[in-house]
Amino acid sequence: MPEHLPDINLLPSYERQTNTGSRLFFGFIIVIFLLYGVLGFYYFSLKSTLSDEKENVEILTEKADALHANIAQFSNDDATNLADIAHFLEAQDIHTSVFIEEAVDLLPAKSHLNSFSYGGQTAGMSIQFEKMNDVADYTEDVHQSAFTIDTKVNDVTTSYPGESDSVFADDPKYNANFSVELDKQQLKGAEKVDE
């Protein structure tokens, strides 16, 4: 065997071409598909969000239309509502002067009404009495009135109105505060007193 054979290449010399162009082409195609996938994802997610927002707009539009209809109805009914309110207030006319006159008539001797207030169905009275027993008797008399439902003494305070050198300095006065629940139906039916 020969020791060394000479290297003989009978084929023509051919340089192999690089695949750079084809690699760039396939890379470009892959990038296009990825971009297409990303754009498709955003398209469908935005389309879903858009349909949700359209539903919200429709709901809000319906609510706005309903509110506009209510406003229009209220503005058309203003005259009717004012007339209804006036009739209601006339029906609520309560002659508290009848009760005040009766409360003053029930006062014992040497007693007087300091103040009277009325709100809702309750009257408040502040009365000065000569004797403590008069407070109890007056409470019972007012409670028995046809115009009252309940009578309550809130508090009783003692005062000494006389001067220190007066003979009457030691005679106390009793100031009682009352809460009286009035019977509106009885007061409505009562004859109005000239005020």
For residue 167, what is the domain's CATH number? 3.30.1360.100
Q: Do 32 and 60 fall into the same domain?
A: yes
Residue 152 phi, psi (nearest 5): -135, 135
**Mean per-residue pLDDT of the chain:** 80
| Structure-model confidence comparison of residues 2 and 61, the more confident one | 61
Instruction: Render pLDDT for 112-159 as a digit per residue (tens, 0 to 9).
Output: 888 888 877 888 999 999 888 888 899 999 988 888 888 898 999 988
Distance of alpha carbon 49 from alpha carbon 53, whole angstroms = 6
Q: Do 169 and 106 fall into the same domain?
A: yes
Predicted pLDDT of residue 172: 84
User: Is residue 168 in a domain?
Assistant: yes
Name 53's Cβ contacts closer than 8 Å, sequence gap at least 6.
none
Distance of alpha carbon 185 from alpha carbon 167, whole angstroms = 49
Predicted pLDDT of residue 71: 79
User: Residue 194: which pLDDT band, with cuts at 50, 70 and 90?
Assistant: very low
Domain count for the chain, please give it: 2
Q: Do 114 and 142 fall into the same domain?
A: yes
Residue 87 has pLDDT above 50, yes or no: yes
Q: Do 109 and 180 fall into the same domain?
A: yes
Q: Which among 59, 92, 125 is the end of a domain?
A: 92
User: Is residue 5 in a domain?
Assistant: no
User: Is residue 10 in a domain?
Assistant: no
Residue 41 has pLDDT above 70, yes or no: yes
Instruction: Render pLDDT for 164-193 as a digit per residue (tens, 0 to 9).
Output: 544 555 678 889 999 998 887 777 766 654
Q: Do 105 and 177 fall into the same domain?
A: yes
Q: Do 46 and 122 fall into the same domain?
A: no
Residue 80 has pLDDT above 70, yes or no: no
Q: What pTM, to 2 d.p., does this model score?
A: 0.48
Q: Do 44 and 100 fall into the same domain?
A: no
Query: Do 103 and 113 contact (CB within 8 A), yes or no?
Result: yes
Write out the DSSP string of 61-73. Answer: HHHHHHHHHHHHH
Nearest Cα to Cα of residue 153 among 173, 127, 130? 127
> By residue range, what is the domain housing residue 142?
96-189
Predicted pLDDT of residue 175: 93
Mean predicted confidence (pLDDT) in 49-59: 89
Nearest Cα to Cα of residue 100 among 194, 2, 175? 194
User: Is residue 116 in a domain?
Assistant: yes
User: Is residue 12 in a domain?
Assistant: no
User: Is residue 15 in a domain?
Assistant: no
Q: Which among 92, 114, 136 is the end of a domain?
A: 92
User: Is residue 71 in a domain?
Assistant: yes
Distance of alpha carbon 120 from alpha carbon 104, whole angstroms = 21
Predicted pLDDT of residue 29: 94
User: Residue 30: which pLDDT band, with cuts at 50, 70 and 90?
Assistant: very high
